Chains A and B, each alone.
Chain A
Amino acid sequence: QKEVEQDPGPLSVPEGAIVSLNCTYSNSAFQYFMWYRQYSRKGPELLMYTYSSGNKEDGRFTAQVDKSSKYISLFIRDSQPSDSATYLCAILTNAGKSTFGDGTTLTVKP
């Protein structure tokens, strides 16, 4: 079983839509959860870092963690064409290594 599984894409939405990106993880002992954004031909960029259940907000982005369901989500409000990228969830394993989901490619159409 994979340690983290991400909803496959691709996802295409109109500008201004609310986007929901989702992952599940296998081990209830994992405590640290990240979302990275990767533009084409660039390295991933850390968007959100959380270590507890509940919501964390940063501008138009909200990261949600539900430890009882082992489910993590990233919500993007008022999506913009500049949000078009691949989004990777990641968990920090007990060995102290970041393990990534397969990524969801998002296209926001003007």
Chain B
Amino acid sequence: DTEVTQTPKHLVMGMTNKKSLKCEQHMGHRAMYWYKQKAKKPPELMFVYSYEKLSINESVPSRFSPECPNSSLLNLHLHALQPEDSALYLCASSQEGGTNEKLFFGSGTQLSVL
């Protein structure tokens, strides 16, 4: 299984809602990532978990809260988002991260904040 599975595929939420994005991989990878991608722009790194510990936080606003319950799962909790947070949110995994960072991406969650 070489897939990274993300749910939901689409999400519409109001600025007062709380929602969560979910990501799962069964490749035995020990590094997992959240990226944000705006239309016609490259992915921007948000968070990296390495061996289930948060190793990189790219100064993302606190309305985004990552969680790594185990080595196969990654969540992104969303609260009080702004319309400018509307984007494609991509989860990725790699074997270990660092110099071996070949990223496997999921198909993403298309988020719209109203």
Contacts and interface: CB of A to CB of B under 8 A. Distances in A.
A103 B107 CA distance: 17
A100 B97 contact: no
Interface in A1-51: 31-32, 34, 36, 41-46, 49
Interface of A: 31-32, 34, 36, 41-46, 49, 88, 92, 95-98, 100-103
B98 A96 contact: yes
Nearest to B97: A96
25 contacts: A32-B101, A34-B102, A34-B103, A41-B107, A41-B108, A43-B4, A43-B92, A43-B105, A43-B107, A43-B108, A44-B90, A46-B102, A46-B103, A46-B104, A49-B102, A88-B43, A92-B99, A97-B101, A98-B101, A100-B43, A101-B42, A102-B42, A103-B40, A103-B41, A103-B42
A103 B41 CA distance: 7
B72 interface: no
A41 B87 CA distance: 11
User: 7 tightest CB-CB pairs across the interface, nearest first?
Assistant: A43-B105, A100-B42, A96-B98, A44-B105, A43-B90, A43-B107, A42-B107
A24 B10 CA distance: 35
Given A96-B97, A97-B56, A44 B43 contact: yes
A49 B99 CA distance: 11
Contacts, number: 51
A101 B45 CA distance: 13
B38 to A, nearest CB: 11
Interface residues of B, number: 22
B101 A92 contact: yes
B42 A96 contact: no
A17 to B, nearest CB: 24
Contacts of A41: 107-108, 110
Given A43-B92, A49-B102, A96-B98, A102 B108 contact: no
Contacts of A101: 42
A92 to B, nearest CB: 6
A72 to B, nearest CB: 15
